[in-house]
Amino acid sequence: MSSLTGKKIMWVEDDKFLSDIIARRLSTEGCILFHASEGEEALKTIEKEKPDIILLDILLSGIDGFEVLKRLKENPKMKSIPVIILSNLGQKSDIEKGQVLGAERFLVKATVTLDEIVGDISAVLDRTAKK
């Protein structure tokens, strides 16, 4: 598993408690972190910072995570950035929609640990680095 040191990770999450936990966990990995709590803000930050990977919640104020993902994948400058959806929504239809829109993985918050999230980030970055 590769090191996340120096990797630019964007996470889009409107739950402050969860954001703080994720930030603390990822900062121990030596990542460069960017955070947005709503969709429009996320798109602006992603375009400016060009993160290596994005953790994306679906339920956001303004435009939702599916719309953020759709716009990312339509933008030639940003479409190659891998996205992991991290959501409370776990219906098969939501997971399928995320996959169709181009998400690399779909993690359900209630069933995943912080270590698993970090592991998934590493795995996706390893895979996309080999492309």
Burial 81-107 (b: 16+ CB within 10 A, else e): bbbbbbbebeeeebbebbeebebbbbb
Q: Give the single-character DSSP code of 80.
A: T
Q: What are phi and psi of 88, to 5 degrees?
A: -80, -20
pLDDT per residue rounded down to tens, the chain (131 residues): 568 999 999 999 999 998 899 899 999 999 999 999 999 999 999 999 999 999 999 999 889 999 999 999 999 999 999 999 999 988 999 999 999 999 999 999 989 999 999 999 999 999 888 76
The CATH number given to 8-130 is 3.40.50.2300
Minimal CA–CA distance to 9: which of 60, 72, 84? Answer: 84
CA atoms of 30 and 77, how far apart (whole Å): 26
